Amino acid sequence: MSKNLSFIPSLLKPGPTLTAFMVVGALVLSSGIAKIIPNKFFGIQPAFGQRISPGDIWQQVYQQLPDLPKENQYSSIDTGQIAEDNTLASRLITYHIYRKGRAPNYRLDWKLTLADYLEANEIMYHNSYPGNDTLQQNPLEGDRAAIANLNRQQRNTLVQVLADIFTPKPQNNQTPRRETTPTPTPPQPPQRGGAELLK
């Protein structure tokens, strides 16, 4: 064994050194530092990424909420044509997941994002808003106005639809149980009580 690695066996022996390492590891994980470590580092992929492509989600949003403004009248920088696929819903989802890093399956996180649009939470910056680098006109102000024009019930419905789309559906993989008739047990003789045993 190399001299540089000679300390490893002593670390793995039960004792105060190993205990100290375990305590430090537990403190690091519980302190929230683990949140900055990518999920892929532990071999875990976000569940929503395995089931659905974020690029397709905005279409599902409009299928369920056809009255939600599309705000897709902006022209592409590259082609000069109207970018019909660059919608309010697609920018909202991109802002929520990729700009803010918020969980897509929790209603509270979506409410925080809508609060950003309503200028009641965090500041939204024009230069980092989705569409700023692909559209001829920055869509942030138009998107803010569209969200502000929704009433509370419409915003709550939007939040619920978004959370539902990203929430994993339970899978029914269990095989159905076969009905079995219980086998009758033979009658047991009556047990003698303690008082009878003393006779």
Higher-pLDDT residue of 4, 95: 95
- The 10s digit of each residue's pLDDT in 119-166 is 999 999 999 999 999 999 999 999 999 999 999 999 999 999 999 999
CA–CA distance from 2 to each of 5, 6, 7, 8, 11 (Å)?
A: 5, 6, 10, 11, 15
What band does 28 get if pLDDT is binned at 50, 70 and 90?
Answer: very low
Question: How many other β-carbons are positioned within 10 Å of the β-carbon of residue 69?
Answer: 17
**175 Cβ contact partners less than 8 Å away, ≥ 6 residues apart:** none
- The 10s digit of each residue's pLDDT in 103-115 is 999 999 999 999 9
DSSP assignments along 123-190, one per residue? PPPGGGSTTTTTBSS--HHHHHHHHHTS-HHHHHHHHHHHHHHHSPPPP--PPPPPP-PPPPPPPPPP
What is the model's pLDDT at position 27? 46
Q: Which of 63, 68, 114 is nearest to 87 (CA)?
A: 68
Joined tokens for residue 21: 């390492």
Long-range contacts: 132-137, Cβ < 8 Å, 24+? 133/77, 134/76, 134/77, 134/78, 134/83, 134/86, 135/74, 135/75, 135/76, 135/77, 135/83, 135/86, 136/74, 136/75, 136/76, 136/77, 136/80, 137/74, 137/75
The length of the chain, given as a count of residues = 199
Joined tokens for residue 164: 């539902």
Mean pLDDT of 70-82: 97
